[in-house]
Structure 1
Amino acid sequence: MSELTFRAADAADVPALVELVQSAYRGDRSRAGWTTEADLLDGQRTDPAMVSEAITAEDSVVLVAQSGAGLVACCQLERHDGYAYFGMFAVDPSRQRGGFGAALLAEAERYARFEWDAAEVRMTVIVQREELIAWYERHGYTRTGEISPFPYGDERFGVPRRPDLAFETLVKKVA
């Protein structure tokens, strides 16, 4: 893995972030990596308005990992009372399995703990994504059994290819 630098995203990063997130999860390009949702969902994973909101919202930060001049990974953290919510996690499909995701996850956990004094990090993962859930478990996350519905009918999050999608909350203590 080449040297990584981390920083908070800004408005100039929006087009690159939309492309990064979309390429990691949807369409044929996503199949180059292991995090694809192309068999579960069609359509978009995010759009410029959603990414812009994540960058500018109060109690939110989008962290990016850069290798050289290019963005290789990103995630969003939202500050809540006592915890940080982790989402919009994406690694360039051609760079997956190279340690970039683990490095950014560790940076997000560090940020949540030391910048926001969060005691834990929470996330939701599509329950059908067993390989991804196992990856998070290897990084210290615990399945809670708390299930929430997929937002069927809201195409901003994609067009489901099956009727049984749902999310499970995963948690990790960081303080």
Structure 2
Amino acid sequence: MNLEHATEADFPEIIDLVNTAYRGNGAVASWNIETGIIEGTRLTDSLLRQDLAAKPQAHFLVTRDSESHAIIGTVWLEPLKNDAWYLGLFTVAPALQKQHLGRALLTAAEEFAIAHGARSMRMGVLSVRDTLIAWYERRGYHRTGETEPYPYDDNRFGTPLRDDLEFAIVEKCL
């Protein structure tokens, strides 16, 4: 799978893809949308630009359809400390899910991080998303026992619909 750095020209397509995949506002619903958990917009142009400016060491990568060149997946990779990397904004076009594209994208992201010095990958997954956590566990990730609070005071990522949200930290040794 070919990964390339996202460009500013890609932002509108990325934003549409992320919002469709996370919040299910497209014609084909993702198997892992956040319905009943968080509503509203997941990503905006200004939020994406803020994140990129605040974390210049991060790599925001996309993969494209080989024929149409449409963006069909995204992943945010960010070096942390002690050779650990953070994985976020992992997105696959809902119409292409169940074709193992997510597995291939995750493998490509891990290989990219390894090539850049990563020895482990970490991410935060909403702890109430058992099906999604199980998907990552089948790919070698495990719960660390660490959690991070959900930012209830920050509606930039949408409006939470539950009061029991937190991020479970999962990790994989690469």
Q: What TM-score do you get using the length of structure 1 for normalisation?
A: 0.91
Report the 3-state secondary structure (helix = DSSP H, G, I; strand = E; otherwise coil) of the residue aligned with 1:36. Answer: coil
Q: Given residue 84 of structure 1, which amino acid in structure 2 is its aligned partner?
A: W
RMSD (CA atoms) = 1.5
Aligned to 1:150: 150
Residues 36-115 of structure 1: matches in 2 within 5 Å? 36-55=33-52, 57-67=55-65, 68=67, 69-81=69-81, 82-115=83-116
The question of 1:29 aligning with 2:58 is answered no
Give the conservation status (yes or no) of the 8 Å contact 2:120–2:173: yes
Structure 1 residue 27 displacement after superposition: 4.0
Q: Structure 2 stretches of 5 or more lacking a match?
A: none
Aligned to 2:163: 163
Tell me, in whole angstroms, the C-alpha distance in 2 between the residues paired with 1:35 and 1:144: 22
Tell me, in whole angstroms, the C-alpha distance in 2 between the residues paired with 1:148 and 1:139: 22
Give the conservation status (yes or no) of the 8 Å contact 1:123–1:171: yes
Report the 3-state secondary structure (helix = DSSP H, G, I; strand = E; otherwise coil) of the residue aligned with 1:29. Answer: coil
Q: What TM-score do you get using the length of structure 2 for normalisation?
A: 0.91
Report the count of equivalent residues: 170
Tell me, in whole angstroms, the C-alpha distance in 1 between the residues paired with 2:27 and 2:49: 22
Give the conservation status (yes or no) of the 8 Å contact 1:30–1:36: no
Give the conservation status (yes or no) of the 8 Å contact 2:19–2:25: no
Aligned to 2:134: 134
Structure 1 residue 62 displacement after superposition: 0.8
